[in-house]
Amino acid sequence: MTTSPPTSGAAGDAAAEGRLAASDPSERLRALAELAARAPAPARRTGWVNLHYHTFYSYNPNRWTPSQIAWLACRRGLEVAGIVDFDVLDGVDEALEAGRILGLRTTAGMESRVFLPEFSTREINSPGEPGIAYHMGIGFTSSTVAPELRPFLARLRGISERRNRELVARVNAYLSPVELDYDRDVLPLTPAGNATERHICLAFARKARATFAGDATLTAFWSEKLRCDAADLDLPEGVALQNRLRAVTMKAGGVGYVRPDGDSFPPLGEMNRFVLAAGAIPLVTWLDGTSAGEAAVGELLDLHLAAGAAGVNIIPDRNYRAGVRDAKYANLVRIVEAALQRDLFLVAGTEMNSPGNKFVDDFDTEELRPLLPHFVRGARIVYGHTVLQRHAGLGYVGAWSRTAFRTAAERNDFYETAGTLVEPGRADRLLAAVPRGASPGQVLDAILAARGCCGEAPSR
């Protein structure tokens, strides 16, 4: 591959930023290194975190790569930024290397869906689908898993693709003459062939635009098929159109909806065994507390705890409106309190998996400000696990951790401290002196000593 020589000044920055979207991850990282060398990192906004960015490896409306997300997070001054993609780990290596280049604390996770037989009659957080829950593993340190774990990842991809192809066939029949060829029209929209419903919506929007010659014809088609005034849907492919199309044709009750059965998604225990074996941390995912399953918050959290969960993922922006203390906000406070009572750490962030999502939550609002310390603690814990697992094999869920800590509270305190002390880009140096078999206190002392050797005050 031929690499363009770097240019200088504003033009050089623009060219390098453009290369952050290149098809080759190594080219993206080279461009990131050029930008980092020319532009000093801005001051970090301590406490501003987002550990839930979806990249173009699953769905991002801007088709942002892990390098683009890391660069934008760095320029916005985030303390910790993390990617989470559906059913794939393709972006993990790039995201963590981008953090090293930029001096940005980065993490990586994977989102999927699981089946909870204990909640088979109650909706949890997958609307209209009792017993099905969105699920997350966080703190992965490599895009590659052990050979014995690869069949499970392949199974997740296979489940998703079978559902997608069946869904497209059903929606094709309803939207005819607007019909998709899944391989030709959908798969090219994602670099890893990991298509989601949002990719399918975009493909249908583009196919309709290509099928109908004029705006009036296009509007009439969508008005009929989506049973609304399509003039309000931001045609030809705006977010309002895609959301309406998804709701009418792909979700529960829609003409293309594929109802899951007991074999559609792996059981919670099986998913958690995969996450733990890959050296990552299972999380509960929380929507907004309005379903029957999430209303049973204690029962739900205890079930996840017994299956190996150590934290709770929350999307704050779904749970409140600035200046309004309504039922959803009360549910947000309730899940935070319930998690803390069980020593489950909290992970927060907006998804960036739909047009219009915030890049980072507004933690200055009256509603989020009291919760921010808990979200910051969780982000530092996940980052602390990531660097210790990646550079020293001392992760949150490994054999060392299981014997080193008596309680989850002790473990959380340790990884929060480590995540605060170990700066990105210097992890190799700071962790090189950690002796084999060290206790948690000895690990932190070794990090502090290494910081002191580098001219920093050794304090914690």
pLDDT tens digits, residue range 290-319? Answer: 999 999 999 999 999 999 999 999 999 999
Is residue 437 pLDDT above 90, yes or no?
no
The pLDDT tens digits for 317-328 are 999 999 999 999
* Cα-to-chain-centroid distance, residue 196: 14
Residue for token pair 């309504």: 326
**CA–CA distance, 69 with 419 (Å, rounded to integer):** 20
pLDDT at 433: 84
Q: Are 149 and 274 in contact (CB under 8 A)?
A: yes
Confidence of residue 70 (pLDDT cuts 50, 70, 90): very high
pLDDT at 455: 53
Contacting residues for 137 by C-beta, under 8 A, at least 6 apart = 109, 110, 271, 272, 274, 275, 278, 280, 281, 282, 283
Is residue 65 pLDDT above 90, yes or no?
yes
Q: Are 100 and 108 in contact (CB under 8 A)?
A: no
* Cα-to-chain-centroid distance, residue 159: 20
pLDDT at 362: 93
What percentage of the chain reaches a pLDDT higher than 70? Answer: 95
pLDDT at 3: 37
DSSP H helices in 250-371: 268-277, 292-295, 297-306, 327-341
User: Residue 192 class from Cβ within 10 Å (0-12 exposed, 13-18 middle, 19+ buried)?
Assistant: middle
**CA–CA distance, 286 with 303 (Å, rounded to integer):** 14
- Region 371-399: mean pLDDT is 96
- Region 49-59: mean pLDDT is 96
- In order of 5, 56, 426, the CA distances from 27 in angstroms are 12, 16, 23
Between 1-10, 101-110, 182-191, 396-405, the lowest mean confidence (pLDDT) is in: 1-10
The pLDDT tens digits for 249-289 are 998 889 998 888 667 899 999 999 999 999 999 999 999 99
pLDDT at 5: 38
Is residue 11 pLDDT above 70, yes or no?
no
* Pairing status of strand 78-86 against strand 281-286: unpaired
CATH of 38-144+278-393 given 3.20.20.140, 3.30.590.10, 3.40.50.970, 2.20.25.90:
3.20.20.140
Confidence of residue 442 (pLDDT cuts 50, 70, 90): very high
For residues 451 and 279, which has the higher predicted lDDT (pLDDT)? 279
Q: Are 284 and 125 in contact (CB under 8 A)?
A: no
Give phi and psi for 11, each to the nearest 5: -65, -40
Instruction: Copy the structure tokens of residue 260.
Output: 């899951």
Instruction: Copy the structure tokens of residue 251.
Output: 């979700």
Q: Are 404 and 365 in contact (CB under 8 A)?
A: no
pTM reported for the whole predicted model: 0.93
For the CA atoms of 260, 264, 270, 274, the dihedral, rounded to the nearest 10 degrees, stands at: -120
The pLDDT tens digits for 120-136 are 999 999 988 999 999 99
> What residue spans define the domains of the chain?
38-144+278-393, 153-249
